[in-house]
Structure 1
Amino acid sequence: MTALAYSEPEPKTLSGATGDWEMVIGMEVHAQVLSKSKLFSGASTEFGAAPNSNVSLVDAAMPGMLPVINEFCVEQAVRAGLGLKAQIHLRSVFDRKNYFYPDLPQGYQISQYKHPIVGEGEVLVDMGPGVARRVRIERIHLEQDAGKSIHDLDPSASFVDLNRSGTALMEIVSRPDIRGPEEAAEFVRKLRQILRYLGACDGNMQEGSLRADVNVSVRPKGATELGTRCEIKNMNSMRFITQAIDYEARRQIAILEDGGKIDQETRLYDPGKGETRSMRSKEEAHDYRYFPDPDLLPLELDQAWVDAIAAGLPELPDDKKARFVRDYAVTEYDASVLTAERASADFFEAVAQGRDGKQAANWVINELFGRLNREGGDFGDSPVSAAQLGAILDLIASGDISGKIAKDLFDIVWSEGGDPAEIVAARGMKQVTDTGAIEAAVDAVIAANPDKVAQAQAKPTLSGWFVGQVMKQTGGKANPQTVQALVKSKLGIE
């Protein structure tokens, strides 16, 4: 597969009182593994269940209960690593990350520290046609999620819901390669896209299936040494990620230019106030007293098993985008729109197969996606199938309908359904191609407007008025090219 050529964007800078500053950003993305059961138990991962209804004895940390690894969750992590062109470690170790919090019943989180399941990879973050930032992935490790503390049900008590306790997460850690708020949001968007293509995570940020911790530091433009970073926790919106980074970078610049120093800490973003606020000092690895979990043996994978997973991977967004540009002659921008979701890419390809690729892209993007956007619908809600849209394009190609009639036909199919060819036949929508009939209409319009004839002969661009009148008189059914040719011939203009 031939990849598209890219150049890297210039780092975004912020102006301060003492000069320009550069942002350095790294991400830790927590992606919930798309699995019906949890990482170490058979409890359901269904979203929206009644509090504490999806909790096994293992999840609740009852004495004597031992974790048992879910093989499918391991497979999903391997699939994610392969999709990010990362190294798969055939041997990895689960560790206990020790800390106390009411929604963590064990008093520790089972995670991976020194020996994660996935090593170094990369993500190509699109920043516009021909421009992309290559962001290195440091590691992906598997870990269990904690439960959820609820503080707004009672003025004097907090509650704990353990439905999420033990749910499998992939923590995807990037290198500090990102250089701006928009790049950070696009990194999460691209990562989400890849994971959804792979079927490893549904990427639903509203339900908490994908959330990000953002590490932000600043340094003078041109400097190479990294500044002290602050971590912004639990970001679940691209817009909030962008706003939080911008605020945090400006906050740090103001402190440094005032002669202060940045304290390494964990912060939260308040979208209502548009600012970050201190949560706690940033922990280091030794604070968690990591050690190998004595209840779990090292995880050892067979290379043949990993190879079988690799052989079953779908075509990923970057490869599909390059192929669409090459095979269907669409622009890089249109290819990006069409490949945003795997389902929309499959839909386009079904429409474009054996037809004009550019025309198919225009109809899918402008008519179908445009209509869905105006009506607030999702792609899965489309009442027009790929077969129906393809049939409309076939009618245009055969000359049975014009582009204008095609749009009217699209509206009918959208509202009422049905076979486009049968609708055209039943409603008399077929384009008029009889030259004699069209010529008669042209003659009638010219005869009725002698003053316009002289104007058009003096200024040929006004011939379009006659074309419009003929199309109106024929109910839009006349072949536009035939009308245009006859008008110019009758008026004696080129």
Structure 2
Amino acid sequence: MSAAISFEKAQEGRPTGPLVQGYEVIIGFETHAQLSTASKIFSRASTAFGAEPNTQASAVDLALPGTLPVMNKGAVERAIKLGLALGSHIAPRSVFARKNYFYPDLPKGYQISQYEIPVVQGGCVSFFLGDEKKTVRLVRAHLEEDAGKSLHEDFVGQSGIDLNRAGTPLLEIVTEPDMRSTAEAVAYARELHKIVTWIGICDGNMQEGSFRCDANVSVRRPGAPLGTRREIKNLNSFKFMQQAIDYEIRWQIGELEDGRAIQQATVLFDPETGKTRAMRTKEDAADYRYFPDPDLPPLAIAPEWIERVRAGMPELPRAMAERYGREHGLSDYDATQLTQSPALARYFDEAVRAGAAPKLASNWITGEIARRLNLQDIDITRAPVTAAQLAALIRRIGEGVVSNNAARQVFDALWTGEGSDIDAIIEAKGLKQMSDSGALEKIVDTVLAANQKNIDEYRAGKDKAFNALVGQVMKASQGKANPAQVNALLKAKLG
């Protein structure tokens, strides 16, 4: 069975996205996720990054005479994990093929891949774009080996070939052309990146090439036949992905507006110029002369194997976000933000277990903590404030010990290393909230005696006058008065 759906068929019933200069944008993705195995897909050679060139290319990777490929079981299990995570059909029998083409960094003259019967078929990736839920359908995900790498930077008038990557296990994840804007395409790529790292099948390091995206982009007038696609290869950052697709859309529209036809091609994005440039004409499947690999038997996956893998799967981010909504009353947006990584979700869970109110913990994590993490370009595992400290601070707010403004000062002291004990910081900085009703009442009486105009305006129905009185009380108490008590006292005295 083939999971592929024709490009035209795939568009039936698909929503139209926002138009760009009167054109509809159509985007599909092919993503290469490097699988997190210690050895290559058909040999025992290491997949470690950063080794000296050509020190990790075995005889099997080079297809030297007399060598035979042997399937890496770990790579298959990682493919099964992805299929389970995305609701795909996992083929009980899939076949490997030779994809034939010439390139200097392809030592065999062919790449072992899957063509007619891939291991993972169908499925989808769902995510939120703002408040709107989007779903991108998948055609397939198939196992294949990576090629080597051509090196140009350190050679004058020459190129070098590093075959360390040759034979590295990849899972190529192919979507239907369901995306209708650059924002939707980048959101899909981020969600897929989150899923493959969440379930541990890929480290997601885009700079090292572990997660590489190819975007197929075309434009057309609404209702017109599908446009000619151009494939932007090897996008290795979300920022460049957005820039590349935006430029390609503008370029294609400009060509059509000037009366020129779009030629199918593979293009590269140059971050320095912000432009795409054609690398070669785009090949079709027939150009690769696929045929079954005679050295590899069909890959058989028994139902028992799938169930063993399923039993070891972690809770998926979408399911976790839905649980946060049910159990803690969090919005879809907040729950999605908290499940951006397993580490972030663990931090939230630890804070709640330590006594933090879930909504307040969510607000702090997605607000102040996220802001500081971004400023310092670190992740939650390196946050100076622990989940237990955050929970203690949130409890002090709930107990009325500190105001929200004072809590931010305490948090800053924790983050910058001024102290580690919440109560000691509150005491040292004099941030304890005034809750003595007698002392507070005296301040309120003093403020009322000095602000008759605000009293008259409030009694005349002007709510802003009441807020002004609250502000005067807070100022007189040097910000230490309990806002709830201030409100209650003022309303009681003003009748």
Contact preservation (8 Å) 2:85, 2:316: yes
Does the Cα contact within 8 Å between 2:14 and 2:178 map onto a contact in 1?
Answer: no
Structure 1 Cα separation of the partners of residues 403 and 179 of structure 2: 48
Q: Is it true that 1:42 corresponds to 2:44 in the alignment? A: yes
> In 1, are the aligned partners of 2:470 and 2:486 still within 8 Å (CA)?
yes
What is the correspondence of 1:38-77 to structure 2 with a 5 Å cutoff?
38-77=40-79
Aligned to 1:206: 207
**Which residue of structure 2 lines up, in the alignment, with residue 409 of structure 1?**
410
Q: CA deviation at 1:69?
A: 1.6
Task: Tell me which residue corresponds to 1:486.
Answer: 489
Is 1:11 the counterpart of 2:9? The answer is no
Q: Partner letter of residue 116 of structure 1? A: P
**Equivalents in 2 of 1:217, 1:482: separation in Å?**
61
Matched with 1:22 is 24
Give the match's secondary structure for 1:81: helix
> Is residue 135–residue 177 contact of structure 1 (8 Å, CA) maintained in 2?
yes
Aligned partners of 1:369 and 1:8: how far apart in 2? 35
| Higher alpha-carbon deviation: 156-165 or 249-258 | 249-258
| CA 1:256–1:437: 2 relative to 1, 3 Å | closer
Structure 2 CA distance, aligned partners of 1:14 and 1:407?
Answer: 44
Q: Return closer, same or farther for 1:276/1:331 CA change in 2, 3 Å cut-off.
A: same
What is the match of residue 112 of structure 2?
110
* Residue number in structure 2 paired with 1:455: 453
Question: Given the alignment of the two structures, is residue 297 of structure 1 paired with residue 297 of structure 2, yes or no?
Answer: yes
Q: Is the 8 A contact 1:30 1:170 kept in 2?
A: yes
Segments of structure 2 that go 5 or more residues without pairing to the other structure are 1-12, 459-463
- Aligned to 1:391, the other structure's residue is in SS state helix
Closer, same or farther: CA 370–257 of 1 in aligned 2, 3 Å: closer
Paired residue type of 1:139: R
1:462-491 per-residue CA deviation (whole Å, 9 max, x = no partner) reads 4555544554554544322223433455xx
CA RMSD of aligned residues (A): 2.5
Structure 1 partner of 2:3? none
The unaligned stretches of length 5 or more in structure 1 are 1-6
- Equivalent pairs counted in the alignment come to 476
Does the CA contact (< 8 Å) of 1:9 and 1:127 recur in 2?
A: no
| Contact 2:16–2:24 (CA under 8 A) maintained in structure 1 | no
Residue 201 of structure 2 corresponds to residue 182 of structure 1: no
**What TM-score do the two structures reach when normalised by structure 2?**
0.88
2: CA distance, partners of 1:178 / 1:43: 38
Q: How far 1:80 sits from its partner (Å)?
A: 0.9
- Counterpart residue number, 1:344: 344
Matches within 5 A, 1:172-321: 172-223=173-224, 225-321=225-321
In 1, are the aligned partners of 2:120 and 2:140 still within 8 Å (CA)?
A: yes
Q: Deviations over 1:33-67 (max 9, x none)?
A: 12222212222222223323333332344433322
Distance in 1 of aligned mates of 2:398 and 2:175: 49
Could you say if the C-alpha distance between residues 254 and 475 of structure 1 is closer, same or farther in structure 2, counting changes exceeding 3 Å?
closer
Following superposition, the deviation at residue 437 of structure 1 comes to: 2.7
Query: Residue by residue, what CA displacement relative to the aligned partner does 1:194-221 show, whole Å, maximum 9, x if unpaired?
Result: 1122111122222211111111222220
Higher mean C-alpha displacement, 353-362 vs 119-128: 353-362
- Percent identity over the alignment? 49
Q: Which residue of 2 aligns with 1:3?
A: none
Aligned mates of 1:438, 1:100 — CA distance in 2:
83
In 1, Cα distance between the equivalents of 2:196 and 2:438?
A: 59
1:276-305 deviation digits (Å, cap 9, x = unpaired): 222112212222222222222211111111
Return the letter of the residue paired with 1:368: I
Larger deviation, residues 251-260 vs 366-375: 251-260
Which range moves more in the overlay, 397-406 or 68-77?
397-406
Q: Which amino acid aligns with 1:43?
A: A
Shift of 1:122: 0.9
Report if aligned partners of 1:244, 1:269 keep a CA contact under 8 Å in 2: yes
Specify whether residues 256 and 481 from structure 1 end up closer, same or farther in structure 2 by C-alpha distance, changes over 3 A only: closer
In structure 2, distance between residues paired with 1:254 and 1:454 = 67
Closer, same or farther: CA 249–475 of 1 in aligned 2, 3 Å:
closer
Instruction: For 1:455 and 1:47, locate their aligned partners in 2 and report how far apart those are by CA, in whole Å.
Output: 73
What residue identity is the alignment partner of 2:87? K
CA distance in 1, matches of 2:155, 2:272: 23
Q: 1:153: Cα distance to partner?
A: 0.9
CA distance in 2, matches of 1:169, 1:330: 37
Counterpart for residue 359 of structure 1 = 360
SS of 2:28's partner is strand
Contact 1:125 1:183 in 2 (8 A): no
**Greater shift in the superposed pair: 385-394 or 341-350:** 341-350
Q: CA deviation at 1:184?
A: 1.4
Q: Cα offset for 1:151?
A: 1.0
Give the AA of the match of 2:264: Q
DSSP-derived class of the 2:128 partner: strand
Change in Cα spacing, 1:338 to 1:59, as seen in structure 2 (3 Å) is same
CA distance in 2, matches of 1:215, 1:466: 61
In the alignment, is residue 121 of structure 1 matched against residue 119 of structure 2?
A: no
Letter in 2 for 1:457: I
Distance 1:267 1:355, change over 3 A: same
Find the aligned partners of 1:260 and 1:464 in 2 and give their Cα distance: 64
2:24, 2:220 within 8 Å by CA — same for their partners in 1?
Answer: yes
Contact 2:136 2:175 in 1 (8 A): yes
- TM-score scaled by length of structure 1: 0.88
The 8 Å contact of residues 9 and 132 in structure 1, kept in 2 or not, is answered as no
Aligned partners of 1:459 and 1:234: how far apart in 2?
A: 65
Distance 1:327 1:116 in 2: 39
Tell me which moved more, 321-330 or 385-394: 321-330
Conserved? CA contact 2:209–2:236, under 8 Å: yes
Q: What does 1:131-150 align with in structure 2 at a 5 Å threshold? A: 131-150=132-151
1:436 alignment partner, SS class: helix
Q: CA deviation at 1:192?
A: 0.9
Who is 2:6 aligned against? none
CA distance in 2 between partners of 1:283 and 1:248 (Å): 19
Assess, with a 3 A threshold, how the Cα gap between structure 1 residues 268 and 422 changes in structure 2: closer, same or farther: same
In structure 2, relative to structure 1, the CA distance for the partners of 1:288 and 1:397 (3 Å cut) is: same
CA deviation map 1:85-144 (0-9, x unaligned): 110011111211122222122221111111211111111242221x23321100100111
Q: 2:420 aligns with which of 395, 418, 421?
A: 418
Counterpart-to-counterpart distance in 1, 2:60 and 2:128: 42
Aligned AA for 2:18?
A: K
